[in-house]
Amino acid sequence: MKPRERVEMALNFEKPDRCPMQVSFTPEFADRLRADISIQGERVHNPHGGGNTYELERALNEDMLLTSVGWANSYYLDDKPYVDEWGVGWKVQPYETPFGTGHYTEIDYHPLADESAISSYQAPDPHRPELYQDSRWMIETFKEQYWIVGVTVTTIFETAWALRGYEQTMIDMVLDPVLADELFEIPYRYHLAAAKKLVDMGVDMIQTGDDMGSQNAMIISPKLWRRFFKPRMANFISELKSINPELKIAYHSDGDVEPIIPELIEIGLDVLNPVQPASMDPAEIKKKYGHQLCFWGTIDEQHTLPFGTPADVVEEVHDRLKTVGYNGGLILAPTHHVQLDTPLENFWAMVNTIINTPLDQI
């Protein structure tokens, strides 16, 4: 079965031969993986941005390939401090793991911290042809075999808080909603234009979204979500599906977002990602919403993958297949890029269990 057929069946609530799989990695984990399977990478692996040759993804037998356009591509742009094209300043933060030193890029300057800068701000142009070169190449090269996902995450909220600052964005929503609207329109318009272009170019699915959940609760109330984000997401989904009615839409949010799941379904969502198991029980979510919604993710990246044993990982994959993926409707994936602190034994336990477990045996 072709990888793209496998995904297509799962997203249509049919049972493919095995559960589809998608995995992304931080650049340093990708280096370790390349060494482990003796693949010579030509370029630095960036889980967000351009330059990915998809060698690792294909070697692992992944089923979906992702191509990203938007502010999220500003992550991992350099190994020294930089300012991205939105004017957001970044620094490079090293961290130590048992498997070596890794680096995260972290935001340290917000160009719209001063309110007066918002009205005159010029966002980058989403219509530049060069933004879509990598996507065009990967669609032409891989669409015949793989399910292609156009990624425009950090669609509204996360880009806005990078531009304005997290606390100030929160405060704007409650104290100055008009200003908050003006702020949110900036990334929203950009990512909508990018997503439309990607749909025109032939992606099978768009991944949109913003982190609306913290570990135990939503960051903002469902009421504020309805005020600022639901109408924009509803329009985003409807504009994209009017270009291609067959298009699937996946929404990404870390953490607990259960309170808004029914309304995400109402506005046309097809797939929820990543269903972080420490925040929402995937089996419960499947029971409540699995007849209308598919899931992408569910493999714990906060405990099991970095700190569990290979047997724990196998058990978790089996559990997900039994409780969520048994009748389709699931693409298994870690709930974040696999981090440098993950033992390779755990990583392979996950990959091998997914690709070697026929759904008929579940």
Partner 1 sequence: MDEKLEPIYQAVLDGDMPAAQESVQTAINSEFPAAEILNSALIPAMGEVGRLFEDGEYFVPEMLIAARAMKAGLEIIKPLLIDSGVEPIGTFAVGTVSGDLHDIGKNLVAMMMEGAGFEIVDLGTDVGSEDFVAAAQNGANVIGLSALLTTTMSNMGGVIDAIEKAGLRDQVKIIVGGAPITDGYAAQIGADGYAPDASQAVTLAKLLIE
CB of 332 to partner 1, least distance (A): 20
Q: Does 219 bind partner 1 (CB under 8 A)?
A: yes
Answer for which of 123, 124, 176, 214 binds partner 1 (CB under 8 A) is 214
Q: What one-character DSSP code corresponds to residue 318? A: H
Please, which residues have CB within 8 angstroms of residue 237's CB and are 6 or more apart in sequence?
208, 249, 267, 268, 269
Amino acid at the residue 192: L
Answer for which of 59, 174, 243, 311 binds partner 1 (CB under 8 A) is 174
Q: Which is nearer to partner 1, 69 or 260 (CB)?
A: 260
Give the binding range for partner 1 (CB under 8 A) out of 147-155, 198-206, 212-220, 321-329: 212-220
- DSSP strand pairing (294-299 vs 100-109): unpaired
Q: Does 59 bind partner 1 (CB under 8 A)?
A: no
With beta carbons less than 8 A apart as the criterion, state whether 251 and 284 touch: no
Answer for which of 216, 245, 246, 356 binds partner 1 (CB under 8 A) is 216
With beta carbons less than 8 A apart as the criterion, state whether 16 and 355 touch: no
C-alpha 313/C-alpha 211 separation (Å) is: 25
Q: Identify each DSSP E strand in the chain by its residue range.
A: 64-68, 82-83, 89-97, 100-109, 147-151, 205-209, 248-252, 271-273, 294-299, 330-334
Q: Which is nearer to partner 1, 63 or 341 (CB)?
A: 341
Answer for which of 46, 154, 335, 339 binds partner 1 (CB under 8 A) is 339
Answer for which of 173, 203, 275, 313 binds partner 1 (CB under 8 A) is 173
Give the binding range for partner 1 (CB under 8 A) out of 35-43, 78-86, 125-133, 335-343: 335-343
Please, which residues have CB within 8 angstroms of residue 318's CB and are 6 or more apart in sequence?
353, 357
Answer for which of 1, 35, 95, 284 binds partner 1 (CB under 8 A) is 95
| Structure-derived torsion over alpha carbons of residues 36, 42, 46, 51, reported in degrees to the nearest 10 | -150
CB of 246 to partner 1, least distance (A): 37
Q: Which is nearer to partner 1, 69 or 224 (CB)?
A: 224
The 306-325 contact track toward partner 1, x by CB under 8 A, reads xx------------------
With beta carbons less than 8 A apart as the criterion, state whether 105 and 89 touch: no
Answer for which of 175, 235, 238, 311 binds partner 1 (CB under 8 A) is 175
Instruction: Classify residue 360 by burial, with Cβ atoms within 10 Å: 0-12, 13-18, 19+.
Output: exposed
Q: For residue 323, which of 277, 362, 353 has the smallest C-alpha distance?
A: 362
What's the length of the chain?
A: 362
Q: Does 224 bind partner 1 (CB under 8 A)?
A: yes
Amino acid at the residue 282: P
DSSP-derived 3-state class of residue 332:
strand
Q: Which is nearer to partner 1, 91 or 291 (CB)?
A: 91
Give the binding range for partner 1 (CB under 8 A) out of 129-137, 198-206, 301-309, 318-326: 301-309
Q: What are phi and psi of 37, to 5 degrees?
A: -110, 15
The 278-297 contact track toward partner 1, x by CB under 8 A, reads x-------------------
Q: Which is nearer to partner 1, 209 or 329 (CB)?
A: 209
Answer for which of 38, 40, 94, 178 binds partner 1 (CB under 8 A) is 94
Binding site for partner 1 (CB under 8 A): 91, 93-97, 102, 104, 106, 108, 166-167, 170-171, 173-175, 214-221, 224, 278, 301-303, 306-307, 339-341
